Amino acid sequence: MATQKIHALYNDDDILLRAVKQIREQHYHIEEIFCPFPVHGLEKAMGLADTRLAINAFLYGIVGLAVATVMMNYIMIEDWPQNIGGKPSFSYLENMPAFVPIMFELTVFFAAHLMVITFYLRSRLWPFKEAENPDVRTTDDHFLMEVDAHGEDIESITKFLYDTGAVELVLIDNEDH
Amino acid sequence: MYTLTTKLKVFAVILMLVGAAFTVIGFLNVPGSEQEVEQMLADHDAHGSSHVDDDHSATSDENVHKETGYVTDNSVDHPEDAHTTTPHEAEDHSGSHAEHVYHQLQNRPWAAIYIAGFFFFMIGLGVLAFYAIQKVAQAGWSPVLFRVMEGISSYILPGGILMFIILLCSGLHLNHLFTWMEAGVDDPSSEAYDAIIAGKTGFLNVPFWLIRAGIFLVGWNIYRWNIRKFGLKQDDAEKGDIKWYKKGFKHSAMFLVFFIVTESIMAWDWIMSFDPHWFSTLFGWYVFASMFVTGITTIALVTIFLKSKGYLEFVNDSHIHDLAKFMFGISIFWTYLWFSQFMLIWYSNIPEEVTYFVTRIEDYNLLFFGMVAINFLFPLLILMNSDFKRVNWFVVTAGLFIVIGHYLDIFVMVSPATVGESWFIGFPEIGAFMFFAGVFLLYVFHTISKAPLLAKGDPYLDESKHFHY
**What residue spans in chain A does CATH classification 3.30.70 cover?**
4-36+141-173
Mean pLDDT of chain A: 91
A54 chain-B contacts, CB cut-off 8 A = 386
Show residues of chain A in contact with B386, CB under 8 Å.
54
Other C-beta atoms within 10 Å of B234: how many? 21
The model carries a pTM of 0.88
B31, B40 Cβ separation under 8 angstroms: yes
Return all residues near A81 (Cβ < 8 A) that are at least 6 apart.
A89, A90
> Which has more pLDDT, B89 or B379?
B379
Which pLDDT belongs to residue B454?
92
Q: What is the pLDDT of residue B335?
A: 96
CA distance B382 to chain A (A): 13
pLDDT above 90 for B31: no
pLDDT over 70 percentage in chain B: 89
Please give the residue that has the higher pLDDT: either B307 or B36: B307
Distance, CA of A128 to CA of A131 (rounded, Å): 9
> Rounded to an integer, what distance in angstroms lies between the CA atom of residue B431 and that of residue B412?
18
Cα(B188)–Cα(A94) distance, integer angstroms: 42
CB contact under 8 A, B339 and A58: no
- What pLDDT shows up at residue B63? 43
Question: Distance, in angstroms, between A165 CA and closest chain B CA?
Answer: 28
pLDDT at B83 over 70: no
* More confident: A85 or A2: A85
Adjacency order of strands within the sheet including A3-10: A29-34, A143-148, A3-10, A168-174
Q: What is the DSSP string of B379-403?
A: HHHHSSSTTGGG-HHHHHHHHHHHH
> CB contacts < 8 Å between A and B, how many?
12
Q: Is the pLDDT of residue B45 over 60?
A: yes
pLDDT in the model for residue B42:
77
Instruction: Give A49-87 pLDDT, tens digit per residue.
Output: 999 999 999 999 999 999 999 999 999 999 999 999 999
pLDDT at B57 over 70: no
Q: Count CB atoms within 10 A of the CB of residue B305.
A: 16
Chain A residues touching residue B349 (CB < 8 angstroms): 86
Residue B286's Cβ-count burial label (10 Å; 0-12, 13-18, 19+) is buried
Q: How far apart are CA A144 and CA A84, in angstroms?
A: 64
Name the A residues in 50-79 with CB < 8 Å from any B CB.
54, 58
Question: Cβ contacts (< 8 Å) between B347 and chain A: which residues?
Answer: 97-98
Q: Tell me how close the Cα of A147 comes to any Cα of chain B, in angstroms.
A: 30
Nearest to A97 among B342, B384, B386 (CB): B342
List the one residue out of B312, B257, B267 whose CA is nearest residue B290.
B267
Mean residue pLDDT of chain B comes to 88
In this prediction, residue A2 has a pLDDT band, given cuts at 50, 70 and 90, of low
| Chain B contact set for A97 (CB, 8 A) | 339, 342-343, 346-347
Q: Count CA atoms closer than 13 A to A14's CA, side-chain side.
A: 0
Nearest to A97 among B347, B384, B386 (CB): B347
Q: What are the pLDDT digits (tens) for A114-140? A: 999 999 999 999 999 999 999 999 999
Does A54 sit within 8 Å of B339, measured CB to CB? no
- Calpha distance B327→B400 (Å, rounded): 11
Nearest Cβ partner for B347 among A54, A58, A98: A98
When computed from its CA atoms, the radius of gyration of chain B, rounded to whole angstroms, is 24
User: Could you name the CATH architecture of A4-36+141-173?
Assistant: 2-Layer Sandwich (3.30)
Q: Do B183 and B353 form a contact (C-beta atoms < 8 A)?
A: no
Q: How far is Cα B436 from Cα A57, in angstroms, rounded to an integer?
A: 43
pLDDT at B192 over 70: yes
Is A97 within 8 Å of B349 when comparing Cβ atoms? no
Spatial distance between the Cα atoms of B300 and B370, rounded to a whole number of angstroms: 24
* DSSP-assigned letter for residue A78: I
What pLDDT sits at residue B46?
67
- Give yes or no for residue B36 having a pLDDT over 70: yes
How far apart (Å, rounded) are the C-alpha atoms in residues B278 and B197?
10
pLDDT for B122-144, tens place per residue? 999 999 999 999 999 999 999 99
Q: What is the mean pLDDT of residues A92-114?
A: 96
Q: Which DSSP state fits B205?
A: -
Burial class from Cβ neighbours inside 10 Å (0-12, 13-18, 19+) for residue B22 reads buried
- Res. A46: pLDDT tops 50: yes
Task: Give the model confidence (pLDDT) of B156-176 as tens digits.
Answer: 999 999 999 999 999 999 988
**CA B13 to each of CA A96, B435, B437: distance values in angstroms, whole numbers, following the listed order:** 47, 9, 10
Q: How far apart are CA B152 and CA B311, in angstroms?
A: 16
Winning range, highest mean pLDDT, from A26-35, A58-67, B93-102: A58-67
Question: Rounded to an integer, what distance in angstroms lies between the CA atom of residue B321 and that of residue B141?
Answer: 11
Which candidate from B346, B384, B386 shows the least CB-CB separation from A97? B346
- Contact between residue A3 and residue A174 where contact means Cβ atoms under 8 Å apart: yes
B384 contacts in chain A (CB < 8 Å): 58
A62 CB neighbours in chain B (<8 A) are: none
